[in-house]
């Protein structure tokens, strides 16, 4: 692997030789593959555009992030700035690097959106975004070319699997009663935490090479790398359960009408995101953030509440506040 990594360092240094002027551009492009960006996009879609599309995007994001965490821990690939002190880290990353979650998410999520739009130009935009987001991660010094390439491949496989089986699986789940649906999605959420936890257990004897730790500390003096952390897995598990359980409950009562004038949709978005921020930052400040079991359970709860707010709490509030129409009683499918 060292020969591949050495070649990757040369490639990255060539991109970074363009100077700081291009760094802002690459940072801006990288945002379109960030999980934080998608967690803002998902409420926008759910409350203002299409709840069904929002659910599709969310399932690909959450399942893909869990899969990415397992692969990262299992493959234990360094970040370029861990491996070489010559590489500048232009953004903070503390997990393993292989495969790139940004590249994977770009293919999977923008592919789902392009499929929903159903136009050639949408696929062209999705492919261009995936390409540019992947390149941005190289220029920012946080991924090797191989990380990005494998991220694209995994994202493509995940997108293909979702397009082939996603609708069918959701319809089968829809044939179950609400209680069984909720129990099933809770078990899936536990699985999304358990698989990365098993990967961490398999790496119990692994230790960060001193050179990686030294280079990372030099590049990110305010951050400590934690490649075996389960924070992402717990976040995904909690968000999955809250989001899907809330959506299933909403579907059972008839869904959510996203129609209305632009000003009404804008009020929904601002009001809903204000509560999202209050849950995320408020509970984040109250709950412990150490490596204890209690902290993990509270983190799961925090993100479950956040997910349920997006798919159930906010829609019900919008209806009561007359910011959305009350849906017809007939259930909708995603």
105 in any annotated domain = yes
User: Looking at the 3D structure of the chain, how many domains does it have?
Assistant: 1
Question: Which pLDDT band holds residue 262 (cuts at 50, 70, 90)?
Answer: very high
What is the pTM for the complete model shown? 0.91
The pLDDT tens digits of the residues spanning 88-144 come to 988 888 899 999 999 999 999 999 999 999 999 999 999 999 999 999 999 999 999
Contacts of 93 (CB under 8 A, 6+ apart): 79, 142
Is the backbone of residue 76 left (phi > 0), alpha (psi -120 to 50) or beta? left
User: What domain range includes position 66?
Assistant: 2-320
Q: Which pLDDT does position 223 carry in this prediction?
A: 75
54 in any annotated domain = yes
Q: Which of 143, 265, 268, 299 is catalytic?
A: 143
209 in any annotated domain = yes
Above pLDDT 70, what percent of the chain? 97
Do residues 298 and 237 touch, judged by C-beta distance below 8 A?
Answer: no
Query: Residue 27: enclosing H or E segment and its boundaries?
Result: helix 23-31
299 in any annotated domain = yes
CA distance 331 to 334: 10
Q: Which pLDDT does position 44 carry in this prediction?
A: 96
The pLDDT tens digits of the residues spanning 270-315 come to 999 999 999 999 998 999 888 899 999 999 999 999 999 999 999 9
Q: Is residue 102 annotated as a catalytic residue, yes or no? A: yes
For residue 171, pLDDT over 80 is answered with no
Do residues 134 and 97 touch, judged by C-beta distance below 8 A?
Answer: no
DSSP letter at 327? P
Q: Of 333 and 196, which is predicted with more confidence?
A: 196
332 in any annotated domain = no
Query: Residue 36: enclosing H or E segment and its boundaries?
Result: helix 35-44
26 in any annotated domain = yes
Nearest to 233 by CA among 299, 182, 281: 299
Tokens 């996603």 belong to which residue?
166
Contacts of 87 (CB under 8 A, 6+ apart): 9, 12, 13, 16, 80, 81, 141, 219
The pLDDT tens digits of the residues spanning 40-93 come to 999 999 999 999 999 999 999 999 999 999 999 999 999 999 999 999 988 888
Query: Residue 107: enclosing H or E segment and its boundaries?
Result: helix 101-117
Question: Which pLDDT band holds residue 334 (cuts at 50, 70, 90)?
Answer: very low
328 in any annotated domain = no
Triad 9, 14, 17: Cα angle to 5°:
120
C-alpha R_g of the chain: 20
CA distance 75 to 69: 10
Q: Is residue 143 annotated as a catalytic residue, yes or no? A: yes
327 in any annotated domain = no
Taking residues 17-39, report their average pLDDT: 84
CA distance 54 to 171: 16
Q: Which of 102, 137, 265, 299 is catalytic?
A: 102
């Amino acid at each position: 692997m060292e020969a591949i990594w050495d070649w990757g360092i040369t490639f990255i240094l060539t991109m970074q030789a363009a100077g700081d002027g291009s760094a802002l551009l690459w940072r801006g492009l990288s945002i379109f593959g960030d999980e934080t960006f998608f967690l803002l996009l998902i409420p926008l879609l759910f409350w203002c555009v299409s709840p069904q599309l929002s659910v599709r995007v969310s399932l690909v994001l959450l399942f893909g992030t869990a899969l990415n965490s397992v692969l990262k821990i299992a493959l234990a690939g360094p970040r370029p700035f861990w491996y070489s002190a010559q590489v500048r880290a232009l953004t903070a990353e503390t997990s393993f690097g292989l495969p790139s979650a940004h590249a994977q998410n770009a293919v999977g999520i923008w592919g789902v959106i392009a499929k929903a739009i159903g136009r050639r130009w949408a696929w062209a935009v999705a492919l261009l975004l995936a390409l540019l987001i992947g390149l941005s991660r190289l220029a920012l010094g946080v991924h090797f070319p191989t990380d990005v390439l494998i991220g694209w491949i995994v994202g493509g496989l995940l997108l293909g699997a979702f397009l082939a089986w996603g609708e069918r699986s959701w319809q089968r789940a829809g044939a179950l009663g609400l209680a069984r649906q909720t129990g099933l999605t809770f078990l899936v959420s536990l699985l999304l935490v358990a698989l990365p936890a098993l990967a961490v257990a398999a790496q119990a004897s692994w230790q960060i090479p001193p050179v990686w730790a030294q280079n990372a500390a030099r590049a990110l003096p305010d951050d400590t790398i934690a490649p075996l952390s389960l924070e992402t897995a717990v976040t995904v598990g909690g968000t999955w359960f809250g989001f899907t359980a809330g959506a299933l409950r909403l579907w059972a009562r008839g869904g959510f009408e996203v129609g209305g004038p632009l000003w009404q949709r804008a009020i929904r978005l601002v009001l809903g995101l204000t509560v999202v921020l209050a849950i995320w930052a408020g509970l984040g400040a109250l709950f412990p953030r150490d490596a204890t079991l209690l902290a993990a359970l509270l983190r799961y709860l925090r993100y479950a509440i956040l997910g349920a707010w997006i798919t159930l709490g906010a829609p019900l509030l919008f209806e009561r506040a007359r910011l959305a129409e009350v849906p017809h009683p007939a259930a909708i499918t995603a």
